[in-house]
């Protein structure tokens, strides 16, 4: 019989790769991962146009040390405020690391790529920069093997303006994420403590913790059955 847990595991395996519970992770790394993922989750749950939290975990899976999975996005049209919130959610993991540890790690590589991609498309494809205007500077037509949008020929001045606008969007989103985490820092510490103990939280559990509620204790693990002695 296929259960909801089986479906959840199959989805995560496809999206993120297999669990690596046998992987030995230093406690300091687990702590960094927990704050990173709770940072993502806090922004996803509180920013008005972001997709809410479906799940977050510190169990390594695939190449990820942990991850926060947002609810599925079924919007046909995405607004500028929603895109700005997406960027802030992507950067909130790094913001949490910066606030808590006063250091930055390599764990945010994919987050930066995602945030920069959204910001660049806002500026070069979707006409969402007042400075650049309602002009397309990239095209996805004729790209080789779906390699992503290709920049159209432009002057050095225009290219510099585009880079400036992208950086402006990124910096503004990072400031929003940092302010949000700072405002709710006490709750962040509490949720991280629970996440490190339970390893995985559902969206409903995260929302409850964010509201100051407590979770039901985990059921005790079933004792392992010793192998029978040959006799």
DSSP result, 70-122: EPP---SS--HHHHHHHHHHHHHHHHHHHHHHS---GGGHHHHHHHHHHHHHH
- Whether residue 101 contacts residue 110, with contact meaning beta carbons closer than 8 Å, is answered with no
What percentage of the chain carries pLDDT values higher than 90? 57
Tell me the pairing of strands 150-151 and 138-139: antiparallel
Q: Give pLDDT, residue 121.
A: 92
Q: Give pLDDT, residue 138.
A: 72
Q: Give pLDDT, residue 224.
A: 53
| Range in 101-110, 163-172, 207-216 the model is least confident about | 101-110
- Whether residue 41 contacts residue 192, with contact meaning beta carbons closer than 8 Å, is answered with no
Active site residues: 37
Per residue in 18-65, pLDDT (tens digit) is 555 656 578 899 999 999 999 999 999 999 999 999 999 999 876 778
What percentage of the chain carries pLDDT values higher than 70? 79
Which two three-digit tokens encode residue 203? Answer: 């969206």
Q: 207 or 141: whose pLDDT is higher?
A: 207
Q: Give pLDDT, residue 231.
A: 44
Residue given tokens 């629970």 in the structure block: 194
pLDDT classification of 226: cutoffs 50, 70, 90: low
SS3 68: strand
| Range in 76-90, 118-132, 149-163, 217-231 the model is least confident about | 217-231
User: Stretch 162-183: mean pLDDT, rounded?
Assistant: 97
- Report whether pLDDT(96) > 60: yes
Residue of 53, 60, 124, 49 lying closest to 87 (CA atoms): 49
Q: 76 or 153: whose pLDDT is higher?
A: 76
Domains of the chain, first to last: 4-141+149-210 (1.20.58.760)
């Amino acid at each position: 019989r296929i259960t909801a847990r089986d479906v959840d595991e199959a989805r995560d395996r496809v999206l993120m790769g297999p669990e690596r519970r046998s992987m030995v992770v230093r406690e300091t790394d687990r702590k960094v991962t927990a704050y990173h993922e709770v940072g993502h989750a806090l922004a996803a749950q509180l920013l008005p146009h972001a997709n809410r939290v479906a799940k977050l975990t510190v169990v390594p899976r695939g190449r990820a040390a942990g991850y926060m999975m947002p609810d599925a996005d079924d919007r046909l049209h995405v607004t500028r405020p929603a895109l700005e919130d997406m960027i802030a959610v992507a950067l909130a993991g790094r913001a949490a690391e910066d606030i808590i540890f006063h250091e930055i790690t390599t764990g945010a590589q994919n987050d930066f790529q995602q945030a920069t991609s959204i910001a660049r498309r806002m500026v070069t494809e979707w006409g969402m920069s007042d400075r650049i205007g309602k002009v397309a500077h990239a095209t996805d037509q004729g790209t080789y093997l779906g390699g992503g949008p290709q920049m159209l020929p432009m002057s050095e001045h225009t290219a510099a303006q585009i880079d400036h606008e992208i950086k402006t969007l990124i910096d503004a989103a990072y400031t929003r994420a940092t302010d949000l985490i700072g405002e709710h820092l006490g709750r962040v510490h509490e949720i991280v403590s629970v996440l490190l103990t339970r390893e995985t939280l559902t969206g409903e559990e995260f929302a409850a913790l964010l509201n100051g509620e407590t979770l039901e204790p985990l059921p005790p693990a079933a004792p392992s059955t010793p192998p029978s002695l040959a006799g």
